[in-house]
Amino acid sequence: MQKDIESLFGHLWESYIKVTPSAHQVHALLGGGEPIVNDHVAFRTFNLPKVGLEKLAAHFRALGYEEKGQYVFKAKKLYAKHFEHRDPDAPKVFISELKVEELSPQAQAIIHSLVAQMPDHLTDSPVFLYTGAPWLISHGDYQTLLAESEYAAWLAAWGYRANHFTVSINRLPGFDTIQAVNAALKQAGFVLNTVGGEVKGDPQVMLEQSATMADKAEVAFSDGVRRIPSCFYEFALRYPQADGTLYPGFVEASADKIFESTNVM
């Protein structure tokens, strides 16, 4: 991998494992000490000019990533794009944004007040992609957002970081099916996301996915520290297309359920 890509993903991994300690156990369990190849990482943001999807995407485009797919999640009020790099070892990148204008006036006001706390040019440097929340929020405002949009609440609390890494089962020696991966995870005590079933997708849509339920970690709210859902690990198995190459995209119906891996249990 290009040095600059490797370095960015190294930083993303560091900030992710700080709040996702079980990621180490996932690697130990599935990798058996060998390096794990990641299929993709995902980011979340608000669709406001200062922090919209394209502000994040710019840093990946600068590294040679190209925009490939677009996705709409009507009920969750989200829009997303995915990006790929010609280097097959460079993880794909999935970036979604919340359509803030579709929320209640109260939720909109909270979100605008968070983004207003950010210095204007913070997103100019790729460092913002892994420095967490560039604002302070009260636990009360977090709960107000949570009642309306779990996505908004998660983003308000955790900010900019990889929301999940994703093990590429295609590149995982020792496991041929997603069912075998899920069985190993459950045997080790992991709790899987069961929304719509443990396996999202099937060979017909050329992508099967599963995910752990997010770890919990402490957030310093303006009025005290609370433990809330942080980040999760995803597992993806891609199937070959007619031309023999693996399907490179995402599947809206499956992604819609993967989002729920940060739900409060």
- 14: number of CA atoms within 13 Å, CB side? 10
Of 10-49, binders to ligand OOG (CB under 6 A) are: 42, 44
Q: Least CB distance from residue 88 to Ni ion, whole Å? A: 18
Question: Can you tell me which of 234, 251, 254, 261 binds Ni ion, judged by CB under 5 A?
Answer: 234
What single letter denotes the amino acid at residue 20? Answer: T
Comparing CA positions, the residue from 39, 5, 35 lying closest to residue 246 is 39
The one segment of 59-67, 117-125, 180-188, 247-255 that binds ligand OOG by CB under 6 A: 247-255
DSSP strand pairing (78-84 vs 216-221): unpaired
CB closer to ligand OOG, 36 vs 42: 42
DSSP assignment letter at 90: S
Does residue 80 belong to the site contacting Ni ion (CB under 5 A)?
A: no
Does residue 98 belong to the site contacting ligand OOG (CB under 6 A)?
A: no
First and final C-alpha spacing in the chain:
38
Question: Can you tell me which of 60, 160, 165, 250 binds ligand OOG, judged by CB under 6 A?
Answer: 250
46 makes contact, choosing from Ni ion, ligand OOG, none, with CB < 5 to 8 Å by partner type, with none
Q: Least CB distance from residue 108 to ligand OOG, whole Å? A: 21
Does residue 255 belong to the site contacting ligand OOG (CB under 6 A)?
A: yes
Which H/E stretch holds residue 101? none
Q: Least CB distance from residue 163 to ligand OOG, whole Å? A: 4
What single letter denotes the amino acid at residue 126? Answer: P
The one segment of 60-68, 123-131, 218-226, 249-257 that binds ligand OOG by CB under 6 A: 249-257
Neighbours of 206 (CB within 10 A): 17
How far is residue 59 from each of residues 62, 69, 83, measured CA to CA in Å? 5, 17, 11
Report how far Cα 54 is from the mean position of its chain's Cα atoms.
16
Residues at the site binding ligand OOG, with contacts judged by CB under 6 A: 42, 44, 94, 96, 163, 209, 234, 250, 254-255, 258-259
